[in-house]
A and B are shown apart, each in its own frame.
Chain A
Amino acid sequence: MIKAILIFNNHGKPRLSKFYQPYVNTQQQIIRETFHLVSKRDENVCNFLEGGLLIGGSDNKLIYRHYATLYFVFCVDSSESELGILDLIQVFVETLDKCFENVCELDLIFHVDKVHNILAEMVMGGMVLETNMNEIVTQIDAQNKLEKSEAGLAGAPARAVSAVKNMNLPEIPRNINIGDISIKVPNLPSFK
């Protein structure tokens, strides 16, 4: 079973958190503790870590990968194959890359809901649902299509506005490898 999936950046800012076990009041603590454990590790060490205390007993392991500015951490128990999960993280990231077209941290920041939807096609309730990237992408595309058809005519103005809002950005840096740079967005004049 996968107990939790966390994505955070080099500064420990959570970008996605998905808990498959009820950790009602400790989620933030777990994220912090996990970041603390993972971030102090060198680049060339193994990707497995004996789990933190908060997330559960000795049966649990943290399996993580570090991509540019982001850590992808899976907390799993002994029924999962360590190397298998490493592959799974790779599939996850590649899928994100396909769905977002050259994914970067900003995509995850602004579209965490989409990331959740992609993840939901891979892992369900802590168990691996699908490992085939093409299958995942097909389903995601089909759902996006459905969403678009639902928005239909009514969705058009909202899309236009969000396009305008994005246009006001000087540029969206696509490949950010420089940590958590803050993009200064000129405040939109209030239309209300």
Chain B
Amino acid sequence: MALKMVKGSIDRMFDKNLQDLVRGIRNHKEDEAKYISQCIDEIKQELKQDNIAVKANAVCKLTYLQMLGYDISWAAFNIIEVMSASKFTFKRIGYLAASQSFHEGTDVIMLTTNQIRKDLSSPSQYDTGVALTGLSCFVTPDLARDLANDIMTLMSHTKPYIRKKAVLIMYKVFLKYPESLRPAFPRLKEKLEDPDPGVQSAAVNVICELARRNPKNYLSLAPLFFKLMTSSTNNWVLIKIIKLFGALTPLEPRLGKKLIEPLTNLIHSTSAMSLLYECVNTVIAVLISLSSGMPNHSASIQLCVQKLRILIEDSDQNLKYLGLLAMSKILKTHPKSVQSHKDLILQCLDDKDESIRLRALDLLYGMVSKKNLMEIVKKLMTHVDKAEGTTYRDELLTKIIDICSQSNYQYITNFEWYISILVELTRLEGTRHGHLIAAQMLDVAIRVKAIRKFAVSQMSALLDSAHLLASSTQRNGICEVLYAAAWICGEFSEHLQEPHHTLEAMLRPRVTTLPGHIQAVYVQNVVKLYASILQQKEQAGEAEGAQAVTQLMVDRLPQFVQSADLEVQERASCILQLVKHIQKLQAKDVPVAEEVSALFAGELNPVAPKAQKKVPVPEGLDLDAWINEPLSDSESEDERPRAVFHEEEQRRPKHRPSEADEEELARRREARKQEQANNPFYIKSSPSPQKRYQDTPGVEHIPVVQIDLSVPLKVPGLPMSDQYVKLEEERRHRQKLEKDKRRKKRKEKEKKGKRRHSSLPTESDEDIAPAQQVDIVTEEMPENALPSDEDDKDPNDPYRALDIDLDKPLADSEKLPIQKHRNTETSKSPEKDVPMVEKKSKKPKKKEKKHKEKERDKEKKKEKEKKAEDLDFWLSTTPPPAPAPAPAPVPSTDECEDAKTEAQGEEDDAEGQDQDKKSPKPKKKKHRKEKEERTKGKKKSKKQPPGSEEAAGEPVQNGAPEEEQLPPESSYSLLAENSYVKMTCDIRGSLQEDSQVTVAIVLENRSSSILKGMELSVLDSLNARMARPQGSSVHDGVPVPFQLPPGVSNEAQYVFTIQSIVMAQKLKGTLSFIAKNDEGATHEKLDFRLHFSCSSYLITTPCYSDAFAKLLESGDLSMSSIKVDGIRMSFQNLLAKICFHHHFSGLLKLWPRAAQEVVERVDSCASMYSRSIQGHHVCLLVKKGENSVSVDGKCSDSTLLSNLLEEMKATLAKC
């Protein structure tokens, strides 16, 4: 045997291993791809071999190639083969490859369920560990459902190594199979107090991860975590817990109050920066959650800000970064305390580290006020000039715009200044954010009416310098601003100083080099301009001038007609025809101006971005109802008219008001104007500045060409924003003087009128009056707009499914699906699992354990409910009055009492809590008493019905099995039994070890004695031998590696080597043991006969239908068949039985459309496949007739086939 193995390994030692592959790739620098494709071919050859070591080596190499970006999904099945190797070495390789390459779309993943289950229950902790690690990377909803119970059992494994992995993987299981959260939670909670720090840390990890998404469900755990926080010394755990508290405090301000003190202590005492930082972070979260009203508030803030300043000033860039990050959180609620560190933050803007500069920029956002906005923006503008690298400059640009436009331009006092800032920003080369600037220009020009004149003059100057923009930055994002400029000049052309000049600028030939959508806007607005010029000229009676303009249009428009852009072309040719028509009219001296400007009559109002969504559905209108009954199905074009109808339906509200509505709209507009006129400084706090133009199509797709210009472009003739700063200062100075005067007057009055607080000497924001009377037009919303704002929630959030109330007691139906094998249990198992799966047994011991655990869980649950109720007590910081002794956080007396009481209904809890919250301290105690009495009273009435206990033991039915269900079956058959012990066994073949089978024997102690010193002796035959420990002779017994206390069962596995597998055989054996009880010990024996059927040499092996067909065609197989009459069982179940008892499996479709369609099957006929441990192929064709079943078999060994069919006949006869 060993010699054979050595020989095999000598054969393959010259195969390429991973190191050789890597070395080879490094030696083929020039033709790497070619070399690798050669290697992949070699690997494919290796995968075809039977030797598992060769396969594992191949898979190992594939894993490396996967990292380099090569697709290895074709080898998924081979990976599964390697995963199922018996040796840890290979198994680990298989699982690693699976974890790297499997994902939810991998179809063969469903074949792994049983293998993983087997590994999870493996006696070797590393097999289990490697399976858990692998599973954590590729768990799917199906795997999660099928394995949840096994993993949950592992959470109480004796080895902490397994426990911590099992605990950690539960998070993944919850995500994929949210139903498992509630049943598993009690045990997870238990693990928070595990003696092993690793397990504890894992449990904290999982709960923190869960609580981060749905914090409110975990509030009741706060006392437990608090205890952990004050007792744990593991910084990693502490950080997690403190982060968790940060998520919990917003929900429960009282928790925050309790936390402040220990956290402050930690801040003072810890030397670990990471812990300090998280403490500060959570204190900040606490402070945010506590609205003002705490006297010692400011001390904590001061402490935080002070610590953060130390971090920011540190030379370690990481600390600096984090300091700024945390500072921005304080900023939101306590801007004042941060604003005093403005110097420090501005200093960070000059840091060489981009991450730090970005964080500092974030802080600036919250630090602006009316007073310092101009100053800060000025500083940013100098940074814009200095910045190298477009990313940072773009970031600066967006920040400037964000800062200025935040909360509806709240801090802008002078919009002329803002427009000139925007114009200055257009000088940026290579920015991607031209559309942002454009959107701002449009927004400001539309919504701030007072600024239109100025804006138009600036925009016309921009258009005039368009040649600059267009020539140097032709394919550049910045030309987007021309879009805005053209539109503004056109729409508000009445404000133009020299409309004719602007018109000419817009008709320059260079314009045609701009992107299409901008040209289109040019064309449209040229007409607007033309209309207003026409009107001016006609009013002034300059008929010639008017004709000259028309001529200019007729001359220049053809250049747009030739445009390649469809939109431009269409608009231009329409307008050209129109203008030509006008020309004709003008030639006849007909006044046309009125009619032309009527084209653009009426004002455009800004519409809120969400307005469309908010249009309420009128009462009585059912959008889903048919107006006309749908046409009959026979019409093939049924779909089309419907689609057209839909489109119209959606588009309608978007249409400009039609003629009929015009009056009504005008009336409304008047009313609104009236309303706003009465409120001269009308600023509406809409949620965000309008950004409709931000997603102008196509901007991102324009390739940006970097143009190297040493001299920054200046737009000639444009005012610089700097001068506004100066002007503004002067203006403010003046205002201040005036105000001082007023104040003095007031003070004098006050002096007379006795003491009153004089206003603070510093100038507050409100004191600065804006330079212009600004009327910011609100964005239009439809009448009766629905106030709800639910559009932000993402319905696809995977974490939403985990929003589950954990305090509710477990219902009987909430149990994890369990695969059982015991015949005694009358539960039904999902039929769907049967065909694929050789049923995996579970140690019977588990059942008892389960029971106990259930019991324990119940107690825990009660305790938890208790704790939820106690949360209020625990959170209240004020000590209760002295006479009534205060209940401790978890009073032990209460606990005893509680253990006696039945689990309380939830309503009681909620009710109680509400009352507790409202009532002052002394009463609370009373309430509790009352409540407890109440529950005691309820106790009897709430007694569970007697049957419910058993019902709880039944597994949940998962999936929806379509047909009648099979009773659960066990692959374990009875071996022997007496009054002491019952033996059942299952024989499994393993693919890797040639001619070896594993016999799993379950020993169940039925007596009241302890069974010790168990030994199994088996008489070997010529054909079958038991593998014994080295050095022991054939006649020695093999010890059973455990003892059995009363009522307990356990499983032992033994390996047998079989020479020939074509015939079934029996081995005689004896189990000897010592039964020990109080009276003494007796020596006992039990004889048994191990029956190795031919089916037990088969291994369920999946096979693709094409491979199956090839096999049948090959002609190497001999054939035989049987027929069984009198069968009443459904075909479905029949197949399941064959699969289960004889280790066959259905064929896999090559391209399954859905997971449940993997197995090929026709109504009354099915092909099945299996393989023996010695590599015989066995193919079956099962046909169902009226009351009979015939089975045709083909196999490479005829004896094996006939024996197999005989066995099958026996099985079928029982059906």
In contact, B243 and A124 (Cβ under 8 angstroms): no
Count of interface residues, chain B, beta-carbon cutoff 8 Å: 77
CB of B103 within 8 A of CB of A113, answer no
Q: Is A133 an interface residue (CB 8 A)?
A: no
Q: Are A113 and B322 in contact (CB under 8 A)?
A: no
- A39 is an interface residue with CB less than 8 A from chain B: no
At the interface, yes or no: B352 with Cβ under 8 Å from chain A? yes
Given contacts A125-B172, A128-B236, contact A47 B6 (CB under 8 A): no
Residue of A nearest to B169 (CB): A125
Known contacts A20-B137, A81-B278; A130/B198 CB under 8 A: yes
Determine whether A170 belongs to the interface, using a CB cutoff of 8 Å to chain B: no
**A10 at interface, CB cutoff 8 A:** no
B residues near A139, Cβ cutoff 8 Å: 161
Stretch at the interface among A68-76, A94-102, A155-163: A155-163
Q: Is B565 an interface residue (CB 8 A)?
A: no
Q: List the B side residues contacting A150 at CB < 8 Å.
A: 87-89
**B residues near A171, Cβ cutoff 8 Å:** none
| B85 CB, nearest partner CB in chain A, Å | 10
Q: How far is the CA of A49 from the CA of B164 in the complex (A)?
A: 31
Q: B562 CB to closest chain A CB, in angstroms?
A: 39
B274 touches A22 (CB 8 A): no
Residues B352 and A45 in contact, CB atoms below 8 Å apart: yes
Residues of B within 8 A of A176 (CB): none
Is the CB–CB distance between A46 and B103 below 8 Å? no
Q: When the two chains form their complex, are residues A129 and B165 in contact, meaning their CB atoms are under 8 A apart?
A: yes
Q: Take A14-B68, A79-B212 as given contacts and tell me if A182 and B274 are in contact as well, using a CB distance cutoff of 8 Å.
A: no
> Is B321 a contact of A46 with CB atoms below 8 Å?
yes
Expressed in whole angstroms, the Cα–Cα distance for A47 and B105 within the complex equals: 35
Enumerate A124-164 residues with CB–CB distance to B below 8 Å.
124-132, 135, 139, 142-143, 146-147, 150-151, 153-158, 160-162
Q: List, in ascending order, chain B residues with CB within 8 A of A28's CB.
A: 69
Given contacts A20-B137, A79-B209, A143-B88, contact A154 B318 (CB under 8 A): no
Q: Roughly how many angstroms separate A98 CA and B647 CA in the complex, as a whole number? A: 67
| A129 in contact with B19 (CB, 8 Å) | no
Which positions 1-60 of chain A face chain B at CB distance < 8 Å? 1, 14, 16-18, 20, 22, 24, 27-28, 41-42, 44-50
Residues of chain A within 8 A (CB-CB) of B320 are 46
Q: Is the CB of B355 within 8 A of A154?
A: no
CB distance from A38 to the nearest CB of B (A): 12
**Complex Cα–Cα for A137 and B772 (A):** 71
B356 x A46 contact (CB < 8 A): yes
Q: Is there an interface contact between A110 and B14, defined as CB atoms closer than 8 Å? A: no
Which listed residue, A110, A132, A142, touches B22 by the CB 8 Å rule?
Answer: A110
Q: Which residues of A contact B2 (CB under 8 A)?
A: 153-154
Partner of A17, one of B8, B67, B171: B67
Q: Are A113 and B318 in contact (CB under 8 A)?
A: no
* Contact indicator B161/A14 (Cβ below 8 Å): no
By a CB distance below 8 angstroms, the chain A residues around B165 are: 124, 129
Q: Given A27-B69, A154-B9, A185-B23, are A45 and B209 neighbors across the interface (CB < 8 Å)?
A: no
On whether the beta carbons of A81 and B239 are closer than 8 Å, the reply is yes
Most chain B beta-carbon neighbours within 10 Å: one of A46, A117, A192: A46
Report the nearest A residue to B134, measured CB to CB. Answer: A120
A127 lies within 8 A of B205 (CB):
yes
Question: Would you give the shortest CB distance from A60 to chain B, in whole angstroms?
Answer: 14
Q: Which residues of B contact A46 (CB under 8 A)?
A: 317-318, 320-321, 353, 355-356
A41 to B161, CA, bound (A): 39
Residues of B within 8 A of A153 (CB): 2, 5-6
Bound complex: CA A147 to CA B56 (Å): 14
Q: Report the separation of the CA atoms of residues A187 and B103 in the bound assembly, to the nearest whole angstrom.
A: 38
- Inter-chain CA distance A22–B278, complex, in Å, is 30
Does residue A86 face the partner (Cβ distance < 8 Å to B)?
A: yes
Q: For the complex, give the distance between the alpha carbons of A41 and B392 in Å.
A: 13
Residues of B within 8 A of A160 (CB): 13
Find out whether the CB atom of A182 lies under 8 angstroms from the CB atom of B322.
no
Q: Mark B1-43, 1 if CB is under 8 A from A, else 0.
A: 0100110111011100111101100110100000000000000
Interchain residue pairs with CB less than 8 A apart (20): A17-B67, A45-B355, A47-B317, A48-B318, A79-B243, A81-B239, A110-B22, A113-B96, A120-B133, A124-B136, A124-B169, A128-B236, A129-B168, A135-B198, A155-B9, A158-B12, A158-B17, A165-B19, A182-B29, A192-B14
Give the 8 A-B CB pairs with smallest separation, nearest first.
A125-B136, A83-B274, A46-B317, A45-B353, A28-B69, A46-B321, A154-B5, A22-B103
**Apart from A84-B274, A86-B274, A127-B209, 4 more pairs, CB < 8 Å:** A120-B130, A129-B168, A182-B29, A185-B26
